[in-house]
Amino acid sequence: MGEFARCAAIASAALERWPQASVHFLLSRHAPYIARVPFPVTLLPSSATFHSAEVIDLMRAWHPDVVIFDNAGRSAQLRSARRLGARIVFISSRRRQRRRAFRLSWMRLIDEHWIAYPRLIAGELGLVERAKLKLLRRPVVRAKLWVQCAIAGTPRLPDERAVDAQLDHDIHPAPPPEGTEPILIGR
């Protein structure tokens, strides 16, 4: 599943679960699927990764509760989302993107890190990644089974202990911050 398809599935599930939510996509105007996007879209000259000023301006105008970065993003974009009070979800499906999200500066910004592919493809958390999680106690790391349930919009997401037991004993999510609201609710 590609980044857009995954985010579209998550957005659809969020709207089904929380009908009052608002969803907005930032896409390259050259993306071949633009005509079929069922959500409000801001078109950019190329990937949102290369247009931080526009991304930050849109976040300032929209004041999202949650911002999802799927395999991409810039530090300035994450910092802006944090300053606006948005919860930040980073989805990784490859080791390189996961390494990016495990930089200490990003770990302090990201609330949840969703690993979209199974351990065989995405690789296991390494010793350094586990040590950083233990040190910072953030972000919450969720494995493939949880992400699939979020996309499918199942009424009750699996218990994190069950995810650990069934899918990946090496992922130990940190507890969510105090007063955490349900994720994926927009204004």
Domain count, the chain: 1
Residue 89 lies in a domain: yes
DSSP H stretches of helix in the chain: 3-17, 52-62, 75-83, 95-101, 104-107, 119-122, 127-136, 144-152, 160-166
Dist CA 103 CA 92 (whole Å):
13
Q: In a 10 Å sphere around its CB, with 0-12 CB exposed, 13-18 middle and 19+ buried, how is residue 150 labelled?
A: buried
52-62 helix and 75-83 helix, angle to the nearest 10 degrees: 10
Q: Assign residue 21 the CATH number of its domain.
A: 3.40.50
Joined together, the tokens standing for residue 65 give 């509760």
pLDDT for residue 181: 40
User: Average pLDDT of 65-92?
Assistant: 93
CA 63 – CA 156 distance, rounded (Å):
28
Tokens of 103: 């930089």
Give the pLDDT confidence score for residue 150 in this predicted structure.
57
Better-scored residue on pLDDT, 28 or 145: 28
Task: Decide if 66 contacts 90 (C-beta within 8 A).
Answer: no
Over its C-alpha atoms, the chain yields an Rg (Å, rounded) of: 16
Cα–Cα distance measured from residue 63 to residue 56, given in angstroms and rounded to the nearest whole number: 10
User: For residue 176, is it within any domain?
Assistant: no
Decide if 181 is inside a domain: no
By mean pLDDT, which of 53-57, 81-85, 117-121, 178-182 is the weakest? 178-182
Lowest mean pLDDT among 71-75, 94-98, 143-147, 183-187: 183-187
In whole angstroms, what is the distance from residue 163 CA to residue 56 CA?
34
Does the residue 180 lie in any domain? no
Ramachandran bin of 27, using left for φ above 0, alpha for ψ from -120 to 50, beta for the remaining angles: beta
Residue 107 is assigned to a structural domain of this protein: yes
pLDDT in tens, 84-105: 999 999 998 877 888 889 999 9
What residues have CB less than 8 Å from 56, skipping those under 6 apart?
Answer: 76, 77, 80
179 within some domain:
no
Q: How many CB atoms lie within 10 A of CB 4?
A: 18
Q: Which domain holds residue 50?
A: 3-166
> What local confidence, expressed as pLDDT, does residue 165 receive?
41
Q: Is residue 186 part of a domain?
A: no
pLDDT for 104 equals 94
Flag whether 73 is in a domain. yes
